Amino acid sequence: MLSVENLTYTYPEGTEAVRGVDFAIEQGEIFGFLGPSGAGKSTTQKVLIRLLRGFQGQITVLGKPLNEWDDSYYEQVGVAFELPNHYQKLTALENLSLFRTLYSGDTRDPAELLEMVGLAADADTRLSQFSKGMQMRLNFVRALIHQPDLLFLDEPTTGLDPVNGQKIKEILRQQKEEGRTIFLTTHDMTVADQICDRVAFIVDGEITLIDSPRNLRLQHGQRRVRVEYHQDGTSSPAQHAEFPLDGLADSDHFLNILRTNRIETIHTQEATLEDIFIQTTGRSLT
Amino acid sequence: MDIQRIAVLVGKDARLGATNFMAVYVLVMPVIISLLIALVFGDLLAKTPRLGIYDPDVSEKFTRPLLDHPSINTTIYDSDAALQSAVRRGSEELGLSLPAGFAAALEDDSAEIDFTAYRWGEASGRNLLLLESALARAMTEGIGTSFDQLPVTVNAEQIGAANTQTWSQRLLPLLLIMAIVLGGLFFPAASLLDEKKNRTLVALTSTPTSLLDVYLSKTLIGFILSGIMGTIILLINSAFAGQVALLLLVIALGGLMSSAFGIILGSVSKDMDTFLGIIKAVGILLYAPGILKIFPQVPEWIGRLFPTYYLMNPLLEVSQNGAGFAEIALDIAVLALISVALLVLLNSVIGRQQQKLALET
């Protein structure tokens, strides 16, 4: 679906923002591109959506070199930017209807899309009266209006409350089930962990690691379990103990704690994506 | 370039532009000023051509069609002196002093017809044209033969300063520049700046719409507005006369020049404040030929230094002096050259805007 080989991009003033990046995305995959601000993730996305020209390297999208695509590229590609960009004097429905007319292929009903992200009741409200979260949801569904094969989404859950954030993640999973490929740029590790099939860490214009969140957690976490408990079933201060996962069923100490104490929590000690990012790149995400 | 997408964008811009205060202000102002000038200086309420006749013989056969003419205001005077006085005051734009025996001469095919016509110096060319054609028809009907075969001698006499321009004629060049240039320039620039401010430009170019489509749609709407505004101003000022096709050609070229200049300004301006600053700074250069025309004593060559002269001058030549293509060909050529140069510049600006768009997103 998308392959990038040795991508390098240098801005006109000389800053080398992306250095020899390689990755490939399969159809139906949700690929997370993670990194702190200034790491090169937005530059990579801008190159991939043909906003930035003059890159070095080979990029093939939908079976064709990126350089050979014309504006018909956007008939098959949907883009949602990090910041809302709508006509503030038009209503939500009018905004979607306007963009719908710019595509020549089949498009989705704008009212149906608004319903999908909980904006049906505000369909006839001018965008100037929308909150940032509402504008972000509209940003997101606008990218889906022409049913693209490939979606480029930049921080799609930024500014959303947990309920709406969850709604967007569900829609993304649904899009994946329908066979769409999603390139997700984010610095939100939780979102990436929950919905991405694979993630790439990018720092200083270079990809340091690519794998599935599960593999990363397993590779970089500890194979241990941590138990928090109150001794003898009393309300005494919580105590904790850690045990290796291997041979856990044969650990008398572990089994004894389970039998004789009131258990507060039991967790395996996988690393979070954020821990792995810091561990592998030596950088934080902020 | 996609015509359908451009049409969609033109519709969107027209709708959004109708709620843009600055754009509406720029379009409405020249019309309001035109109407005010016409009201104050009388042209609007006194558009009917005024004819005065001194006819001692009561040549009913000749004067009746003129008195009954629906588009001419004809008054009969008791004496030649009274007629001359009325023409001097401007109460009549044309005064006919018919000699004794005029009625009999009309009846006699072979008789020489000789009379005096007093012309008010400030009479508008359009009204004089209408009066002359009405006179010719009345005379033809009176004698029963075609006008060019008539044995008529007209002694034309001008009363009042020759070539004196009315205030509405003096202000017309400025109004034309305001209407055509500002009408064509402001809308594309304001619309593009709005798109940049709301980041909708990048949203549009992330669809199959190209930046060229966006720029063309805005240039087109500026061009249309410019044409409409130019025509309205000419009509209000009773100057939509002469060769209409030539007037429309000049307005079209002026509209192209203005809208291309507007979209370039909108593209290079960071925001609306910067754009307005540029307009304040270069506005005088745009208006200069119109301002200079208010003062007839200023040499014509000074006006020629400014690009808008080549829009204004041919319009005035055609509408006020009845010029044809040959007389204004040079002005049209210069105007066309300026428009082409701006379109070439626009092409390069679009390329740069593409880069800026990526960097600013």
Looking up tokens 């500026």, which residue turns up?
B222
B197 reaches A (C-beta below 8 A): no
**Do residues A123 and A264 share a domain?**
no
Chains A, B: CB contacts within 8 A come to 65
**Do residues A122 and A210 share a domain?**
yes
Which of B120, B140, B159 terminates a domain? The answer is B159
Query: What is the rounded average pLDDT of the residues A137-154?
Result: 94
CATH number at residue A18: 3.40.50.300
Q: Which of B210, B244, B157 is nearest to B354 (CA)?
A: B210
Residue B114: how many CB atoms within 10 A of its CB? 15
A179 reaches B (C-beta below 8 A): no
Residue A152 is assigned to a structural domain of this protein: yes
**Do residues B181 and B307 share a domain?**
yes
**Do residues B302 and B186 share a domain?**
yes
Residue A283 is assigned to a structural domain of this protein: no
Q: Of all residues in chain A, what percent are helix, strand and coil, respectively (each to 5)? A: 35, 30, 35
Which of B159, B186, B218 terminates a domain? The answer is B159
**Do residues A212 and A230 share a domain?**
no
Query: B207, A103: Cβ pair inside 8 Å?
Result: yes
A132 reaches B (C-beta below 8 A): no
SS3 (DSSP) at A74:
helix
Domains in chain A, number: 2
**Do residues A211 and A227 share a domain?**
no
Query: B12, A98: Cβ pair inside 8 Å?
Result: yes
CATH number at residue B128: 3.40.1710.10
Identify whether the C-beta of residue A155 lies closer than 8 Å to the C-beta of residue A185. Answer: yes
pLDDT of residue B45: 46
Instruction: Name the minimum distance, in Å, from the CA of B341 to any CA of chain A.
Output: 27
Long-range contacts of B329-337 (CB under 8 A, 24+ apart): B331/B250, B332/B249, B332/B250, B332/B253, B334/B310, B335/B250, B335/B253, B335/B254, B335/B257, B335/B310, B335/B311, B336/B253
DSSP annotation of A126:
B
Dihedral of CA atoms B209, B215, B216, B221 in degrees, nearest 10, equals 120
**Do residues B179 and B70 share a domain?**
no
Q: Using CA atoms, how far apart are residues B309 and A43, in angstroms rounded to an integer? A: 47
**Do residues B33 and B61 share a domain?**
no
**Do residues B151 and B198 share a domain?**
no
Identify whether the C-beta of residue A183 lies closer than 8 Å to the C-beta of residue A48. Answer: yes
B352 reaches A (C-beta below 8 A): no
A142 reaches B (C-beta below 8 A): yes
Residue A286 is assigned to a structural domain of this protein: no
Instruction: Name the minimum distance, in Å, from the CA of B31 to any CA of chain A.
Output: 27
Query: What is the rounded average pLDDT of the residues A248-269?
Result: 88
Q: Which two tokens stand for residue B221?
A: 């709407």
Residue B234 is assigned to a structural domain of this protein: yes
Residue A231 is assigned to a structural domain of this protein: yes
Residue B45 is assigned to a structural domain of this protein: no
SS3 (DSSP) at B111:
coil
**Do residues A151 and A23 share a domain?**
yes
pLDDT of residue B147: 56
* Domain residue limits at A253: 223-269
| Residues of chain B contacting A85 with CB distance shorter than 8 Å | 198-200, 202-203
**Do residues A112 and A195 share a domain?**
yes
Nearest CA in chain B to A70: B208
Q: What DSSP assignment string belongs to B237-278?
A: TT---S-HHHHHHHHHHHHHHHHHHHHHHHHH-SSHHHHHHH
**Do residues B274 and B354 share a domain?**
yes
Residue B221 is assigned to a structural domain of this protein: yes
Strands B113-120, B152-159: pairing is: parallel
Which of A217, A246, A280 terminates a domain? The answer is A217
Identify whether the C-beta of residue A205 lies closer than 8 Å to the C-beta of residue A19. Answer: yes
Residue B330 is assigned to a structural domain of this protein: yes
Domains in chain B, number: 2
**Do residues A152 and A230 share a domain?**
no
In one-letter notation, the amino acid at residue B154 is V
**Do residues B335 and B189 share a domain?**
yes
Rounded CA Rg of chain B: 26
Nearest CA in chain A to B3: A102
**Do residues B265 and B143 share a domain?**
no
DSSP annotation of B164:
P
Q: Which of B260, B193, B200, B203 is nearest to B226 (CA)?
A: B260
Q: Using CA atoms, how far apart are residues A95 and A124, in angstroms rounded to an integer? A: 10
| Residues of chain B contacting A69 with CB distance shorter than 8 Å | none
Residue A281 is assigned to a structural domain of this protein: no
In one-letter notation, the amino acid at residue B78 is D
Share of chain A above pLDDT 90, in %: 52
Q: Who wins on pLDDT, A105 or B241?
A: A105
| Terminal Cα-to-Cα distance of chain B (whole angstroms) | 24
When scoring B4, B6, B207 by the number of chain A Cβ atoms within 10 A, the one with the most, hence best to mutate, is B207
Full pLDDT tens readout for chain B, 361 residues: 788 899 989 999 888 877 777 777 777 777 787 777 766 665 544 568 889 999 888 888 788 888 888 888 899 999 999 999 988 888 888 898 888 888 777 777 666 777 888 988 777 777 777 788 888 888 777 666 665 666 677 777 777 765 556 677 778 888 888 888 888 888 899 999 999 998 999 999 999 999 999 999 999 999 998 999 888 888 887 777 778 889 999 999 999 999 999 999 999 998 889 999 998 888 888 888 888 878 777 787 888 899 889 988 898 888 877 788 888 999 999 999 999 999 999 989 988 888 788 777 6
Residue A265 is assigned to a structural domain of this protein: yes
A202-258 pLDDT, tens digit per residue, is 988 999 889 998 888 878 777 889 999 887 666 677 888 989 888 888 999 999 888
Instruction: For residue A51, give the nearest of B8, B210, B357 by CB distance.
Output: B357
| Residues of chain A contacting B211 with CB distance shorter than 8 Å | none
**Do residues A211 and A235 share a domain?**
no
Residue A277 is assigned to a structural domain of this protein: no
**A 208-227 residues with CB below 8 A of B?**
none
**A 12-31 residues with CB below 8 A of B?**
12
B18 reaches A (C-beta below 8 A): no
Q: Which two tokens stand for residue A159?
A: 């500014």
Q: Using CA atoms, how far apart are residues A222 and A126, in angstroms rounded to an integer? A: 52
**Do residues B193 and B341 share a domain?**
yes
Residue A84 is assigned to a structural domain of this protein: yes
* Domain residue limits at B318: 3-40+166-360
Which of B141, B159, B177 terminates a domain? The answer is B159
**Do residues A171 and A248 share a domain?**
no
SS3 (DSSP) at A13:
coil
3-state secondary structure B126-144: HHHHHHHHHHHHHHHHHHC
Cβ neighbours of residue B203 closer than 8 Å, sequence gap 6 or more: A81, A85, A86, A99, A142
**Do residues B200 and B227 share a domain?**
yes
**Do residues B74 and B144 share a domain?**
yes
pLDDT of residue A178: 92
Q: Using CA atoms, how far apart are residues A56 and A19, in angstroms rounded to an integer? A: 9
**Do residues A123 and A230 share a domain?**
no
Identify whether the C-beta of residue A95 lies closer than 8 Å to the C-beta of residue B203. Answer: no
| Residues of chain B contacting A51 with CB distance shorter than 8 Å | 202, 205-206, 357-358, 361
**Do residues B298 and B316 share a domain?**
yes
Q: What DSSP assignment string belongs to A75-105?
A: HHEEEE-SS----TTSBHHHHHHHHHTT-SS
**Do residues A208 and A241 share a domain?**
no
**A 24-83 residues with CB below 8 A of B?**
46, 49, 51-53, 71-75, 79, 81, 83
